[in-house]
Amino acid sequence: DIVMTQGALPNPVPSGESASITCQSSKSLLHSNGKTYLNWYLQRPGQSPQLLIYWMSTRASGVSDRFSGSGSGTDFTLKISSVEAEDVGVYYCQQFLEYPRTFGAGTKLELK
């Protein structure tokens, strides 16, 4: 199984500052088709997860351009520029290259 390892944030994050969340996969998620099979989700308190980023760097419909995804085949970063109150929650990375689909353990973002 592909293991997804997420880093922690130096919480709380001051409002208006940027925040970067890291995720590492135990196997390259870069397919021969050139696409990287990684999603980022945000789960706000008491809500269902929401897709933020797919194919490592493509923003989902309606997602603020303050969110950006980047990385290589095994190391990934979700950057949130100018953190706002609505960004509070737990962020998950997920690989969809292979079954079983696997998620990282989650990274909590708290606002100062």
Partner 1 sequence: EVQLVESGGGLVQPGRSLKLSCLASGFTFSNYGMNWIRQAPGKGLEWVASISSSSSYIYYADTVKGRFTISRDNAKNTLYLQMTSLRSEDTALYYCATTNYWGQGVMVTVSS
| Contact set with partner 1 (CB under 8 A) | 39, 41, 43, 48-51, 54, 60-61, 90, 92, 94, 96, 99-106
Count of other CB atoms within 10 angstroms of residue 13: 18
- Choice between 27 and 101, CB closer to partner 1: 101
**Other C-beta atoms within 10 Å of 23: how many?**
27
Q: How far is CA 44 from CA 80, 88, 97, in A?
A: 15, 6, 25
Cis bond upstream, residue 12 (ω within 30): yes
C-beta closer to partner 1: residue 11 or 58:
58
CB of 92 to partner 1, least distance (A): 6
The dihedral sign for the CA sequence 70, 1, 51, 40? negative
Using the minimum distance from each CB to partner 1, give the nearer residue, 41 or 76. 41
> How far is it between the farthest Cα atoms of the chain?
42
**Closest CB 97 distance from partner 1, rounded Å:** 13
- Closest distance to partner 1 from the beta carbon of 83 (Å): 22
Q: Is the Cβ of residue 33 or residue 48 nearer to partner 1 in the bound state?
A: 48
Report, in Å, the least distance between residue 13 CB and partner 1.
20
